[in-house]
Amino acid sequence: MSDLTITAVTTKAERKAFVDLPFRLYEDDPAWVPPLKGEALGLITPEKNGWYSHAKAQLFLAREGGRVVGRISAHIDTLALTMPAEQGFGPGVGQWGLMEAEREEVFVALLAEAEEWLRSQGMTKALGPISQSIWEEPGLLVQGHDHAPTIMMGHAKPEYQGWIERAGYAVVKQLFTYELDITQEFPPIVKRIIKSGENNPRIVVREVDKRKFEEEAAIILSILNDAWSDNWGFVPLTPPEIKDVGVKLKPIVFNDLIRIAELDGRPVAFMITLPDLNEPLKPLNGSLLPFGWAKLLLWLRAPKVRTMRVPLMGVVKELQASRMASQLAFMMIEYIRRASVERYGATRGEIGWILEDNQGMRSIAETIDSRVNKVYNVYERGL
C-alpha cells in the first residue's frame, strides 16, 4: 500500500484509463459485457452527457507503481437534492459509483477519497453505487453474477458486496429484475383479464409510431413523470437527458415493442421493450472497429435476440390502485410478448429493475410466472 496514490481525473488520457480498467478486471468473467468504449467515455464527459446540465462529478483513479488499480466517481445531482428525503435523495445526499478495484484496500482508499470530496461539497450522506444518474445503472449486483446483464443493466464482482458493507454502508433499497419464458402462454386468469380488456370499448392499446418519435416520447415522458413521481429514487428527466436517450435508443426502438394504452382516448399507460443489444455487443469487446460497426448495423436492420428487456412501464397515478392498472399492464405485456416471439425470435423476457416495495409491479411479474433473476443493492452511510 505504500506506493498507492489516488488522483483526480482531469485529462482525456485519464478518462480513457478510467474506461479501460474494467476491460482488464473482467477479462476472465464470461458474464461481463464490454461496453462500447466511445459510449462509456461519453457518459463521463460533461460536454457529451445531458445529465451534467444539473449535476457535477469528480472521478478518481488509484495507481500503484504507475499502474491503474482502481477507480470511483463522486457526484452530486442538484435535482436529486430537491427531492423529498423520504424518497431516498433530498438535501445533503451525494452519491458515488462507477467503482472498480483490484482489492479491498484499494477500494477503501478510493471510497474515502470520494466521501471526502462529497463532504467538501457540503454533503452529509453518501448513497451508492449509482453510476452516475439514477436512470443509468443504480445499485450493486448481489445476486445473478452467473449470467450476463441485459442492456442498461450493471455487472460487478461478487466480492464488492463485502467490501461495501465492511466499509460501514447499510442497504437502503433493493432492486429486482425478473425473467420469464416468453414462449409460454400466460396463466388462464391472465388470459381472462386480457380478454375482458379487449372487450372494453374504452380501452385501446396501440403501437408507437417511430415516425413521430418526439411526439410519442413526450406522451411517454408525461406518463412516466406522473407514474413514478412518488417512487424511491425518482428524479425527473430533463430535456438534455431526454435528447441523449433519444439518440441512444432510437436505433433499437421498434413500433411493435413499445405500447401506449389509452382510456377513453387519453394515454394512461405505456410499456417500453428493447431487444437486448448486449447480445451483439458482447463479441465486439468495446470497439466498432474494424468491422464491428458493420456487424451491428446488419443486426439493427433485422434484430434476432434471445432476450427482450422491459426497462420502463408506467400507469398514471390515478389508476394505480385500480384493477384497470393491472389489466392494462397485462394487455401490453401480452401484445409485446407475441411480437417478441413471432418477429424477433426471442425466447426470454426480463422485467426491471423493480423496487422491492413496488408491490403492484412485483405482483404483476409473479402472476405471469416470472422469477427474480438479479438483485441490486443501493447502500447509504452518513458522512
Q: Which residues contact 5 (CB under 8 A, 6 or more apart)?
A: 62, 63, 64
What is the DSSP-derived secondary structure letter of residue 282? Answer: G
Q: Work out the average pLDDT over 96-103.
A: 98
Q: Work out the average pLDDT over 56-84.
A: 97
**Which pLDDT score, from 0 to 100, does residue 207 have?**
98
Residue 171, Cβ neighbours under 10 Å: how many? 16
Distance CA 139, CA 128 (A): 7
Of the given ranges (49-63, 84-98, 155-169, 279-293), which has the lowest mean pLDDT? 279-293
Which of 59, 68, 47, 63 is closest to 96 using CA atoms? 59
The percentage of residues in the chain with a pLDDT greater than 70, rounded to a whole number, is 99
Q: How far is CA 296 from the centre of its chain?
A: 21
Residue 226, Cβ neighbours under 10 Å: how many? 16
Q: Work out the average pLDDT over 42-60.
A: 96
The percentage of residues in the chain with a pLDDT greater than 90, rounded to a whole number, is 91
Q: Work out the average pLDDT over 356-371.
A: 95
- Grid look-up 477500494 returns 107
Q: Which residues contact 28 (CB under 8 A, 6 or more apart)?
A: none
Instruction: Give 80-129 as a 3 state SS string.
Output: HHHCCHHHCCCCCEEEEEEEEECCHHHHHHHHHHHHHHHHHCCCCEEEEC
What is the DSSP-derived secondary structure letter of residue 11? Answer: S
Report CA torsion sign: 298, 180, 354, 383.
negative
Q: What is the dihedral of CA 137, 140, 143, 145, to 10 degrees?
A: 70
Backbone angles phi, psi at 176, to 5 degrees: -115, 150
Cβ burial 183-193 (10 Å sphere, 16+ → b, else e): eeebeeebeeb
Distance CA 225, CA 207 (A): 20
Q: Which residues contact 347 (CB under 8 A, 6 or more apart)?
A: 181, 182, 183, 306, 307, 341
Cell (9 digits) for 296: 451491428
pLDDT of 44 strictly over 80? yes
- Tell me the pLDDT tens digit for each residue of 269-305: 999 999 999 999 999 999 988 778 888 888 988 899 9
Pairing label, strands 93-101, 125-128:
parallel
Distance CA 189, CA 187 (A): 6
What is the DSSP-derived secondary structure letter of residue 35? Answer: P
pLDDT of 364 strictly over 70? yes
| pLDDT bracket for residue 242 (50, 70, 90) | confident
**Which pLDDT score, from 0 to 100, does residue 2 have?**
63
Q: Work out the average pLDDT over 187-212.
A: 96
Average pLDDT of the residues of the chain: 95
- Grid look-up 441512444 returns 248
**DSSP track, 186-226:** PPHHHHHHHHHHHT-TTEEEEE--GGGHHHHHHHHHHHHHH
Report CA torsion sign: 354, 356, 357, 362.
positive
pLDDT of 1 strictly over 70? no
Q: Is 263 exposed, middle or buried (0-12, 13-18, 19+ CB in 10 A)?
A: middle
Q: Work out the average pLDDT over 197-219.
A: 95
Q: How far is CA 367 from the centre of its chain?
A: 23
Of the given ranges (246-255, 257-266, 341-350), which has the lowest mean pLDDT? 246-255
Pairing label, strands 130-131, 137-138:
antiparallel
- Tell me the pLDDT tens digit for each residue of 145-156: 999 999 999 999
Nearest-5° angle of CA 148, CA 287, CA 104? 55
> Is there a contact between 81 and 122 (Cβ–Cβ < 8 Å)?
no
Distance CA 168, CA 125 (A): 12
